[in-house]
Amino acid sequence: MKLHRFAWLAAASLLCGAALAQGNYPSKPVKFVVPFPPGGNLDFVARNLQPKMQEVLGQPVVIDNKGGNAGMIGLEYAAKQPGDGYTIVLGNTGTIAINQSVYPKMNYDAVKDFVPIGITTTNALLATIAGNVPANNLKEFVAYAKANPGKLNFAISGAGSGPHFGAEMFMRSAGLDIPVIFYKGSGPVLTDLLGGQVQITMDAASVTITQIKAGKLKAIAVTGKTRLASLPDVPTFEQGGFSVDASGFQGVLAPAGTPPEAVAKLSQALNAALAQADVKEKFAAAGLDTVSSTPAEFSAFIRSEIAKWSRVAKEASIKIEP
């Protein structure tokens, strides 16, 4: 009986210690992986959330950009980190919902290898053309592209991404055949678009809106049913007579095995950041809609998005060779 009593006391002590340790979470910095280079939409979202989240968590939140391979390098890296609450990753439509439908081989599973924390934002996609393209609106651009085959390149921030699907939908709807050039992130796309090396891109408005308002780039159309409040003069593709049913989302995940208590604390910090008026204003100005959700709601959303984009990939016969 004494041995049993001591064993019970030892087990109880361990349980209490674990509970206390979890109650102290977080006790060190949290790494926030962004699977694209600086300057893109995900980087913009993460850097606006980071200071607000660390205020709630009481520990530094350190952004770690790990771009490459359509965001899959960063997601694979995050999936291999310990599920202890000290690594989170900001995924998006491509990395979470599309990639597994278009890449024959992936080194992570968006459902099995991660625990959802919450959705951050959703966005329409904005088609933007270089300043040196002799067109000022959607109709003029389509006419110019048809009259000048071989003179244009379509820059996309990642193969198999939401913008990639949007670009393909636009070209099919408009009867265009523009070569697509894939980049490792939105930042490099913006650099080449400003330099005139490429002539058109499609991405979240946050990527190009500053340069559009400065008159260096021209926005010609936005996906979705309504115009962007930040660019009210830019029509939707539907208003221009084209069908482009593509949009994007962003959301935070943690590696599988992350304790429920840590998930709850991270969810609380994320939603507190998203509720801040200045964060909402910055996102709205960049064409992003702020969304708050529970981990369970984000989980259901991910599954529905995977099913949706899988159908689109099959209908469009989109497959990406490694």
pLDDT for residue 86: 98
pLDDT for residue 15: 42
pLDDT for residue 322: 60
Higher pLDDT among residues 31 and 286, named by residue: 31
Q: How far apart are CA 93 and CA 30, in angstroms?
A: 23
pLDDT for residue 312: 84
Does residue 230 fall inside a structural domain?
no
Pair (84, 106) in one structural domain: yes
CATH number, domain with residue 172 = 3.40.190.10
pLDDT for residue 304: 95
Pair (164, 216) in one structural domain: yes
Cβ-count burial of 58 within 10 angstroms (0-12 exposed, 13-18 middle, 19+ buried)? exposed
Pair (267, 118) in one structural domain: yes
Mean local confidence (pLDDT), 196-206: 95
Mean local confidence (pLDDT), 187-214: 95
Is the model's pLDDT at 21 over the cut of 50?
no
Beta-sheet pairing, 288-290 with 30-34: unpaired
Does residue 322 fall inside a structural domain?
no
Domain boundary among 222, 238, 266: 222
Task: Kindly state the tokens that stand for 297.
Answer: 């709601």
Domain boundary among 176, 206, 222: 222
Q: What is the pLDDT of residues 66-102, one digit of tens each?
A: 998 889 999 999 999 999 999 999 999 999 999 988 9
Mean local confidence (pLDDT), 241-259: 94
Pair (89, 151) in one structural domain: no
Per-residue pLDDT band for 182 (boundaries 50, 70, 90) equals very high
Does residue 309 fall inside a structural domain?
yes
Q: How far apart are CA 204 and CA 189, in angstroms?
A: 12
CATH number, domain with residue 108 = 3.40.190.150
Is the model's pLDDT at 229 over the cut of 70?
yes
Pair (138, 200) in one structural domain: yes
The percent of residues in the chain predicted with pLDDT above 70, rounded, is 93
pTM of the entire predicted model: 0.82
Pair (194, 46) in one structural domain: no
What residues have CB less than 8 Å from 225, skipping those under 6 apart?
236, 238
Does residue 10 fall inside a structural domain?
no
Pair (139, 206) in one structural domain: yes
pLDDT for residue 13: 38
Higher pLDDT among residues 100 and 181, named by residue: 181
Q: Give, in order, the Cα–Cα distances in Å from 166 to each of 157, 204, 215, 306.
A: 12, 11, 24, 16
Per-residue pLDDT band for 214 (boundaries 50, 70, 90) equals very high
Domain span holding position 130:
124-222
Does residue 163 fall inside a structural domain?
yes
Pair (196, 167) in one structural domain: yes
Pair (112, 152) in one structural domain: no
pLDDT for residue 5: 41
Mean local confidence (pLDDT), 240-246: 91
Pair (62, 115) in one structural domain: yes
Task: Kindly state the tokens that stand for 47.
Answer: 């850097």
Structurally, the chain folds into a number of domains equal to 2
Asked if residue 25 lies in contact with residue 85, where contact means CB atoms within 8 angstroms, the answer is: yes
Is the model's pLDDT at 17 over the cut of 50?
no
Does residue 192 fall inside a structural domain?
yes
Is the model's pLDDT at 12 over the cut of 60?
no
Per the prediction, the chain carries an average pLDDT of 91
Pair (171, 183) in one structural domain: yes
Pair (46, 115) in one structural domain: yes
pLDDT for residue 29: 98
Does residue 104 fall inside a structural domain?
yes
Q: How far apart are CA 251 and CA 293, in angstroms?
A: 10
E-strand stretches of the chain: 30-34, 61-65, 87-92, 114-130, 154-156, 180-182, 200-204, 217-222, 247-255, 288-290
Is the model's pLDDT at 202 over the cut of 90?
yes
pLDDT for residue 19: 41
Place of tokens 């995050």: 78
Is the model's pLDDT at 283 over the cut of 70?
yes
Does residue 191 fall inside a structural domain?
yes
